[in-house]
Amino acid sequence: MSGKRLAPTGTILIGGVDPFKHGLEGVTYLGMEWVLNPIVRNDIHVHELLASVGGNHYPQRRDQLVRILDIDVDWRMHAVSDGERRRVQLAMGLLRPWSILLLDEVTVDLDVLARARFLRFLKEETESRPCTVVYATHILESAGAWATHLVRVTLGSVKYYGETEVVLREQGSGSAGLLEVVLRWLEEDLEERGPRGKKKSEAVSYSDMMKVEYDIEV
């Protein structure tokens, strides 16, 4: 979706634009690979990194993100934890206003409070101006109350799309909410997919394997 990997022409459109063929104006992508970049592990202050991406042009937004993500601008990047480094990534990536934000598991290194404050900030963004967040995550403790819509993707195909409230009501999630729904979906996906490395029709049970081995030995 962010145009970083080639997809067949016309199969993905972001704001009506093919992300691989054309530049994505107003689209921001934040993924897992940033914290592995050796550049952001050098001995450099956070305030220098923020300034390098336009922090001085958006001082109010910069200060808001620093406060929400609980960042010390005097941190030196070679001496911080992965969680602290992740907070700096988010602040840098969100400094410039965006119309579409693509997030890929970027909250895995955040503690519960930082994650909640970050998601609250994103929700307020979408309520105060025209913008959209697409968030791929396996962390579900707060997603049910946060997301307005859910997409279920299985083996490269969209199997379900709808408003979160409708999904939870239709799936009869009970008190467990989104987690219960997703667990049910994953069980169905696993059953449909079968064992890794085999087509479902080729799957062999453990008892059948033992019988085959016994017959061969005999």
Q: Which domain holds residue 155?
A: 141-218
107 CB-near residues (< 8 Å, 6+ apart):
86, 115, 118, 119, 137, 139
Q: Provide the pLDDT for residue 68.
A: 92
Closest CA to 159 of 171, 172, 173, 143: 171
Q: Are residues 147 and 42 in the same domain?
A: no
How far does CA 20 lie from the centroid of its chain?
20
pLDDT bracket for residue 215 (50, 70, 90)? very low
Report d(CA 38, CA 184) in Å as an integer: 40
pLDDT tens readout for residues 37-64: 777 788 899 999 999 989 899 999 999 9
Taking a C-beta distance cutoff of 8 angstroms, is the pair 116, 142 a contact? Answer: yes
Query: Is 50 or 15 the better-scoring residue by pLDDT?
Result: 50
User: Does residue 119 sit in the same domain as residue 80?
Assistant: yes
Residues 62 and 160 in one domain: no
Half-sphere exposure of 125 (CA within 13 A, CB side): 21
| Average pLDDT of the residues in 212-217 | 38
Domain count, the chain: 2
Does residue 135 share a domain with residue 177? no
Considering the chain, what is the average pLDDT of its residues? Answer: 82
What is the pLDDT at residue 46?
A: 93
Query: Could you tell me if 172 and 129 lie in one domain?
Result: no
